Amino acid sequence: MRHIHKYYPKNVNTFKKQLLAWSQAFDEIVWLDSNSFKSAYSNFDAVLAVGALTSISTDYHQAFQNLKEYQTNTKDWIFGYLSYDLKNDVEALVSNNFDGLEFPELVFFQPKKLFFIKEGMVELHYLTMVAHEMETDLSSIQSCVLEAYKTQDKIKVKLRINKDEYHSKVEKLLEHIHRGDVYEANFCQEFYAEEVAINPLQIYNNLNQISNPPFATFLKFYDKYLLSASPERYLKKTGNSLLSQPIKGTSRRSEDPIEDNQLKAHLKADEKERSENIMIVDLVRNDLSRTAMKGSVTVEELCEVYTFQQVHQMISTITSKISNDVHPVDVIKTTFPMGSMTGAPKVSAMTIIEQLEETKRGLYSGAVGYFSPAGDFDFNVVIRSILYNKTKQYVSYSVGGAITAKSEPAKEYEECLVKAKAMREVLEN
């Protein structure tokens, strides 16, 4: 049972910063922030989940079945992540590439303390055993001093794949496409640094400030951190309704308003970018149809261009309806990993990119989110994100792009650098 208390802070933005700073004492943290991005599909502006009463942490073997049992038995809010490599639980696939981060492949926990923020109000949802701590916690949060950060040492970021290797690998992918093995594949590369100590909260705040995305995430599980400026929703369930919003198509921004509008218009009209997006829309429609009620899969938006602080993005919105007897975890299992991070056909694409990529994706290309007590859920796509293993002092970010028959390796490489810009800036100071 949860005890609920409503609180109205004088300044909600200051309270959010104090709340996240206060949370750092916990071993389990999930912070999800929409950065006031207005959407008809939002449940709240931000949420913080801290302190595990129960949890599940596992590799991919029977991961979805284990999650299904955990979610069913808990019947409470649970927060956590799904790594990309759960693909191996869904299909007969493997992940044998180098893994410098060593995150578990699935982690969820039942938080003792929850904070929901919406339209200037904060709702605390505390389990009975900690309900008496509400007042003390609020007082601690309000008195939390936001310290100025020390200037971080510049981190030298290395490439797992150099530019020439990238070109060569994209050429191999194009051979697969011309042979008909696959018609789109999302090919990713890792940037990393070893033997470095970072302040995860400082890095997250800096990344969030320059990106201001609608699906920002700060996640901590003991010594593992995710600092994410994701612009993309993977999948949301509200009652019997499902919503997916894949991103495919990226353009840089310009400080010149006229040029910026031209870049936006060019992206909307770009035949290659539109074809990439439409291919993934078809894949998502197919995925959703596996659990959908007949005739309920609908494309609400096709190739709409949205503007974020770092980039313009092409986004489509697909919805469907499911019957009451479909388990929420089965909906995720039948659509995972998200098509925007794999390609199409999905299994062929995942097989080929595993052979060409140098790094195990892990949480990158996975999803972070929550299940409600009623079985609703909302998950983002882990992109534009920095991952950090504090014990190993290993920091990493990856970027990728959709390769199609019309792709040019040099242009794809440039697009990767555009996507990597924010992460590189905050790490290299």
Residues identified as active-site: 232, 248
User: Cα 229 vs. chain centroid, distance in angstroms?
Assistant: 8
What tokens were used for 186? Answer: 């999302």
Q: What is the DSSP secondary-structure string of 270-322?
A: -HHHHHHHHHHHHHHHHHHHTTBPTT--EEEEEEEEEE-SSEEEEEEEEEEEB
Phi, psi of 222 (to 5 degrees): 60, -105
Q: Quick check: 351 and 396 in contact, CB under 8 A?
A: no
Whether residue 345 has a cis bond before it, omega within 30° of 0: yes
User: Cα 154 vs. chain centroid, distance in angstroms?
Assistant: 26
162 vs 153: CA distance, rounded Å:
24
Query: Which DSSP letter does residue 338 get?
Result: P
Nearest to 377 by CA among 41, 118, 105, 65: 41
CA distance readout (Å), 291 to 33, 196, 286, 294: 29, 45, 10, 9
| Nearby residues of 316 by Cβ (< 8 Å), 6 or more positions away | 245, 246, 248, 277, 278, 280, 281, 284, 299, 301, 302, 303, 304
Q: Partners of 81 in the beta sheet?
A: 107, 368
121 vs 320: CA distance, rounded Å:
31
